[in-house]
Structure 1
Amino acid sequence: MGFAGDIVQMNVGQILQSPFIPHVDLTGQTIVITGANTGLGFEAAKHFYKLNVSKLILACRNMTKGEAARKAVLASNPTFEGKVEVWPLDMSSFASVLAFGDRLNSLSRLDAFLSNAGIETNDYEQFEGHESVITVNVISTFLVSMLAIPKLRETAKAQKRPTRLVVTGSVMHIFAKYQHLVEPGRGRIFSSLDDEKTADMSGRYNLSKLMVLLGVRQLADQLDIGTKQGQGDVIVNCVNPGWCKTELFRMNTGGLGGKIGLALIGRSAEDGGKTLVHAAVAGKDTHGKYLDACRIKPESTWVRSKASIETERRMWLELVEILEAIRPGVTRL
């Protein structure tokens, strides 16, 4: 189908297919959402609360904004008495991510973990020795996800049903310049992306979401190994919320064309939040898959090509090496 076909598919999904709220009752369940004080995470939190989730944890960098979000979530379903908590999480700090991950162990159960926090910027900056978008959107996203998996597995085994790990991706992965992953030599993908002299920050968000999608595919394979060995079954998927009118693009609107496109076909944050809810309750058929408009969709043409396989594996091995340096043993699933 090629790149042109990818564009057609994106527009059809955005215009003709509307996200929906699954008809489920989440009584008794515990759900955690990162990046939950604004945008998609916040809207998803309100949807979850209306579905009777018993315990909802909003992971936020700014605790003041997090508390305001907590009150708004409670007000969205005033007759319900579920518990909503705000936990601090700064995805630009590995120490914060590790502390948050350790705190997850205090939960009695964890039914779904939504790794949703992300940034977009055209400005080059480093967090924790890596370019900022790669640190937050890729390294910390998979670090916090890995830290959540033991509790997800424990819950799945105790409840005798799968739990879910949802990673927020983006349709923008189809625009990513994948050559930035293909061309660096072995062991050089992340170091190449960290080089300020060659960093293409205008396309960095798109590339980070391509890396997320490739990582989810590899993570699904790793989780399958543990499941076959008798550990709890965890379903992981990558959800595209669609092109949504949120604060994410406040630093990079995509220019005049981006502003016009967003105004014409952009989804509301409320609709985007529905896609996160769907992914958090979706079935085994979504494991390792890319979701859009609450449906399984094909990834970009390049991601589905044989040419991507070697790059995906190389990227994953490098990512595992980085994560193991942050906390030894964290990727042993």
Structure 2
Amino acid sequence: MGLAGDILQMNVGQMLQTPVLPSTDFTGKTIIITGANQGLGFEAAKHLLVISIPDPLKVADRDYHSYQLNAANLILACRNLTKGEEARKAILASGRHSSPGKIEVWQLDMSKYSSVLAFGDRINSLPRLDVLIANAGMNTTQFERLEGHESTITVNVISTILLATLTVPKLRETSKLSHAPSRLVITGSAVHIFADHKCLSTPKQGQVFKTLDDEPTADMTDRYYLSKLVLLLAYRGLAKELDHSSEKGSKAVVLNFVNPGWCKTELFRTADGGLGARIGLCLVGRAAEEGSRTLVHAAAVGEEAHGKYLSECRVKPESTWARSQQGVEVEKGVWAELVDILEGIRPGVTKF
């Protein structure tokens, strides 16, 4: 298909395929959303617990039940607890029914491995966990090291996959309890198609992350795109690891990678791409509420979507390069390096 085809697919999805309103019933389920105090995470939380539609006056009262998804326990994972509590109150205030599910705010700072580990340990105290929506991320054009790695790679890739691996045991436990698959949703992006994949294919074996951490050669204008491509490759490695360690014929955890589209959120407050990007976002960008529908859809999608790339609530192909032989080979190397990094943070974390 090539880059031109990738761009065409992205543009068609962005401009002609509006994500559908979610209607799945989450009664009795416990769901965690990271980055939930604003943007996509906040809007997804409103969908999961209470009514969230663009204009409630345009929907007949008899149709309101379709938008009450009834999650029993919703956990908002936020770096700032004050902002998280404000989000919790706003979500409760947006509802129309009298007995919403329980909402909690838990602290999670994706820039600190200690916080991710503590959060993962706290998950074990839950009676069940049906869905984790790993949505938190960052976008910056300034080079900074966090936990020894460039900050975007630390937050968007390493901490995200670390949290996912920490959560797998509880998700599998819940799957056995409920006799149904649990879901692990990772927020990706269509912009992975624009990433300079030479940054991943050129380094010698075992040197990808070291190369990404080299400040003099780091192109920070491309870094967000590149972080989403690395995350995609890491996600595919994780999906294969889950398959290898699962009981034969079982999908205890359905894992997927979701493109919510180009959305008008706070993600671009420090790196907006310039005047052209600002105009484009104004013209064709989705409201955060529309983009959040893709996350809720992924939280209930069937086993056929396991290990897939989802966009506009549909299974779609990833970038042409990611599906190429070179992309598959680079994926193996990225996953091997990432496993070493994760095992260095907590030995045994990737041994499901």
Whole-angstrom CA distance in 2 between matches of 1:120 and 1:141: 14
Deviation at 1:306, TM superposition (A): 1.2
| Residue number in structure 2 paired with 1:280 | 299
**Which one of the candidate residues 246, 259, 280 is aligned to 2:265?**
246
Partner letter of residue 284 of structure 1? E
- Output the aligned Cα RMSD: 1.1
Aligned partner of 1:265 in structure 2 is 284
Determine the structure 1 residue equivalent to 2:19: 19
| Pair 1:119-2:132 in alignment | no
Give the Cα–Cα distance (whole angstroms) in 2 for the partners of residues 40 and 106 of structure 1. Answer: 27
Q: Is contact 2:171-2:183 (8 Å) kept?
A: yes
Identity %: 62
Residue 88 of structure 2: which of 61, 70, 75 is its match? Answer: 70
Equivalence for 1:206: 225
Give 2:59's aligned residue.
none
SS of match in other structure, 1:86: strand
Question: What aligned pairs does 1:216-227 form with structure 2 within 5 A after superposition?
Answer: 216-227=235-246
Amino acid at match of 1:52: N
> Could you tell me how far 1:233 is from its partner in structure 2?
0.7
Rounded Cα–Cα distance in structure 2 between residues aligned with 1:24 and 1:216: 25
Give the counterpart letter for 2:336 in structure 1. Answer: L
* Pairwise CA distance, 1:229: 5.3
| From 35, 55, 64, the counterpart of 2:73 | 55
TM-score, reference length from structure 1: 0.98
TM-score (norm 2): 0.93
> Offset at 1:232?
6.7
Counterpart CA distance in 1 for 2:303 and 2:28 is: 21
Give the AA of the match of 1:314. Answer: G
* Matching of residues 1-16 of structure 1 within 5 Å: 1-16=1-16
* Aligned equivalent of 1:319, options 338, 342, 345: 338
Amino acid at match of 1:286: A
**Residue 81 (structure 1) shift:** 2.4
Cα distance in 2 for residues equivalent to 1:75 and 1:227:
41
Between the aligned partners of 1:23 and 1:37, the Cα distance in structure 2 is 22
Letter in 1 for 2:91: V
Distance of 1:54 and 1:201 partners within structure 2? 41
Secondary structure of the equivalent of 2:133?
strand
Q: Is 1:103 paired with 2:122?
A: yes
Which residue identity is paired with 2:48?
A: F
Letter in 2 for 1:29: K
For residues 164 and 106 of structure 1, the distance between their equivalents in structure 2, rounded to whole angstroms, comes to 18
> Match of 2:56?
none
**Contact kept in structure 2, 1:37 and 1:66, CA below 8 Å:** yes
Q: What CA distance in whole angstroms lies between the structure 2 residues aligned with 1:243 and 1:232?
A: 31
Contact 1:91 1:136 survives alignment (8 Å): yes
1:332 aligns with 351
Summarize deviations over 1:285-310 as a string: whole Å, max 9, x none. 11011100111111111011112111
2: CA distance, partners of 1:231 / 1:98: 27
Using the TM superposition, give the Cα deviation of residue 226 of structure 1 relative to its aligned residue in structure 2, in angstroms: 2.2
The alignment of Structure 1 onto Structure 2 pairs a total of residues equal to 333
Aligned equivalents of 1:27, 1:74: Cα separation in 2: 17
- Contact 1:155–1:232 (Cα < 8 Å) also in 2: no
Give the 3 Å change call, closer, same or farther, for CA 5–229 of structure 1 in structure 2. closer
What amino acid sits opposite 2:29 in the alignment? Answer: Q
| CA displacement at 1:230 relative to structure 2 | 8.3
- Return the offset for 1:264: 1.1
In the other structure, the counterpart of 2:182 is: 163
In structure 1, the residue matched to 2:58 is none
